[in-house]
Amino acid sequence: MLQAQLKPANLVVTCNQTHSTMAQTDAPSTPVMPMTHAKQTAESGSSAQLRHLSRYLVRNLGMLNAAFGDLPLSPVQAHALFEIGKQPLTIKELACKLSIDKSNASRAIKHLIDKNLAQSQIHPRDSRCLVVQLTPAGKKLLLKLDAQQNQLFQEILAQLTPAQTSQIEEALMLYNQAVHNAKHQSGCHIRQATAQDDAAIAKVIRDVSAEYGLTADKGYSVADPTLDCLSQIYSQAGANYWIIELEGRILGGAGIAPLANNDGVCELQKMYFMPEIRGKGLAKRLALLALDFARETGYQSCYLETTAVLNEAVKLYEKLGFVHLSAPLGNTGHDACEMPMLLELNQ
């Protein structure tokens, strides 16, 4: 089977400035996500197509059948057999690996035990739970299952060139990562910031900056005089700030604003995340939202300044297409952020 390694996204912080001299306009009374009708329509079409392809793939791989291939196993039982074949597992561990509820995992294990394909015993380190492993008969059936799946995928791959196979593997890895992230972002609400959020946003920026040693005396954005009134700064034309809210708490955010004295250039600014929401892919999601806004607003390129201390942030920016510049654009006042980067938005 084609498998994808799922690696959590990491903390991203940008050392960018908001300018006190920027022109200000009245903030909208009701925060709305800045998405055009055309973009909504396009995303809806893409979503429908991806859902259709996902359903089609599941059906054609036989995942809706009562039996898995020509073996006496349901798809859930077959997947359970694969996972237990790697190492003994508890019901809870199996449910987590298969992304199913514990009752479903328990039923699958019961069927495997009834067929003498698995057996359970007291966990060696926790007498309160059982651990399940394969019997000799289960190991023998797993070999047959492996051979059957290898044959199936050899026949599938015979329809593709090596380059196409690599392309599918890469696409599936991205798709699996997106599914994984979406699942783990459950409960996180992204919305435009309002004046009522100013104090909470400032606290997030100060707390994360302190955690990473980005102190005010070193020229980082935590020293900006506008830090406690960001809603005013981002209410100007061509600017926006989004926050991530979880269970009523603001735990992160990022903004876009014009880069002073650089027509057609915006700046990705003040991207900070508290520990509670790191590793969920929210950094990339918020960056993509901000870049979509920048394109729709008419910017030709997006600028940012960061520092080598934030290694994972730099990696994300590079993956998004940002390139390193030999010198900063303009004068943001953040001299400690020694790594200026730029993304051409129309490429």
Instruction: List pLDDT tens digits, range 206-217.
Output: 898 888 887 666
Domains 64-159 and 188-344 agree in fold: no
For residue 1, the model assigns a pLDDT of: 38
Per-residue 3-state assignment (H helix, E strand, C coil) for the chain: CCCCCCCCCCCCCCCCCCCCCCCCCCCCCCCCCCCCHHHHHHHHHHHHHHHHHHHHHHHHCCCCCCCCCCCCCCHHHHHHHHHHHHCCECHHHHHHHHCCCHHHHHHHHHHHHHCCCEEEEEECCEEEEEEEEECHHHHHHHHHHHHHHHHHHHHHHCCCCHHHHHHHHHHHHHHHHHHHHHHHCCCEEEEECCHHHHHHHHHHHHHHHHHCCCCHHHCCHHHCCCHHHHHHHCCCCCCEEEEEEECCEEEEEEEEEECCCCCCEEEEEEEEECHHHCCCCHHHHHHHHHHHHHHHHCCCEEEEEECCCCHHHHHHHHHCCCEECCCCCCCCCCCCCCEEEEEECCC
The model's confidence at residue 251, banded by pLDDT at 50, 70 and 90, is very high
Predicted structure pTM score: 0.76
For residue 304, the model assigns a pLDDT of: 93
Show me where the domains of the chain are located.
Answer: 64-159, 188-344
Q: Which residues pair with 123 in a beta bridge?
A: 126
Assess whether pLDDT exceeds 70 at residue 90.
Answer: yes
For residue 41, the model assigns a pLDDT of: 63
Assess whether pLDDT exceeds 60 at residue 26.
Answer: no
The fraction of the chain above a pLDDT of 70, given in percent, is 83
The model's confidence at residue 220, banded by pLDDT at 50, 70 and 90, is low
Q: Which fold has domain 188-344?
A: Aminopeptidase (3.40.630)
CATH 1.10.10.10 fits 64-159, yes or no: yes
Cα separation, 250 vs 189, in Å, equals 9
pLDDT in tens, 102-137: 999 999 999 999 999 999 988 877 777 889 999 999
